[in-house]
Structure 1
Amino acid sequence: MSTTLEGKFASRTEADLAIERLVQEIGIERTDIFISAEGDQNSAGSMIAGSDGETVGQAARDDAALAGRIIVSVDLQDEAHVEAVTAAMREFAAAM
């Protein structure tokens, strides 16, 4: 029986970190992970992070595409991974 888990992340950075944890440590295939914006517009999340944030000698950008959270969906064929996937998403601040 397959299960789909979904997490919503405030930044693309958090989503990317969670995805890497899923692939590298839990062994989820990248083809079973789907990423989308929460709404109809392209989005880098709902908060400034990563290269859009303030860096040494440079102010934070004000043109980031902040049009909603990043949704990461994971299709699981093995329900044994449900707990580990949920924990990994929550570790990187996903709303489940």
Structure 2
Amino acid sequence: MSDSSTTTVRAIFETREAANLAVEHLVQKHGIPRPDIFVQSANDENSAGSVPSGGDVSSSGDVRTDAPIMGDIEVSVDIAADRLAAVQRSMGDLGAMRVSGL
């Protein structure tokens, strides 16, 4: 008999770009509906990440100032407990600094 309980996976990323890639991976590889995935600042500050990347850097290489670089980005999702290891591994492979399952 399979485990039908759910658990929450939280993964912390340095950039919004990496967090967005993780969301796409959860949707496309793991079949998780996009509305079930949550992205937010990992701290109390509004933030686009802790390292500039992607849209945070202009074509000339200058860091934009309209998107605060004040902390990490958290991606969280509730999944079936029997999928925990696969989802945690995927988040780690995509560059998550920390991955937890509750």
TM-score between both structures, scaled by the size of structure 1: 0.86
**Could you say which residue in structure 2 is the equivalent of 1:52?**
56
1:1-96 to 2 correspondences below 5 Å = 1-53=5-57, 55=59, 58-63=60-65, 64-76=67-79, 78-94=80-96, 95-96=98-99
Query: Matches of 2:47 and 2:11 in 1, distance apart?
Result: 15
What is the letter of the counterpart of residue 85 of structure 2?
E
Q: 2:39 aligns to what SS in structure 1?
A: strand
TM-score between both structures, scaled by the size of structure 2: 0.82
Instruction: State the Cα distance separating 1:54 from its structure 2 match.
Output: 5.4
Query: Matches of 1:59 and 1:69 in 2, distance apart?
Result: 21
Instruction: Check whether the contact 2:47–2:69 (CA below 8 A) recurs between aligned residues.
Output: yes
For structure 1, the residue ranges without an aligned partner over 5 or more in a row are none
Distance 1:51 1:31, change over 3 A: closer
Greater helix fraction, Structure 1 or Structure 2: 1
Query: Matches of 1:35 and 1:62 in 2, distance apart?
Result: 21
Instruction: State the Cα distance separating 1:30 from its structure 2 match.
Output: 1.6
Greater strand fraction, Structure 1 or Structure 2: 2
Instruction: State the Cα distance separating 1:71 from its structure 2 match.
Output: 0.4
Distance 1:54 1:62, change over 3 A: closer
Backbone CA RMSD of aligned residues: 1.4
For structure 2, the residue ranges without an aligned partner over 5 or more in a row are none
What is the letter of the counterpart of residue 82 of structure 2?
A
What is the letter of the counterpart of residue 72 of structure 1?
V
Number of residue equivalences: 93
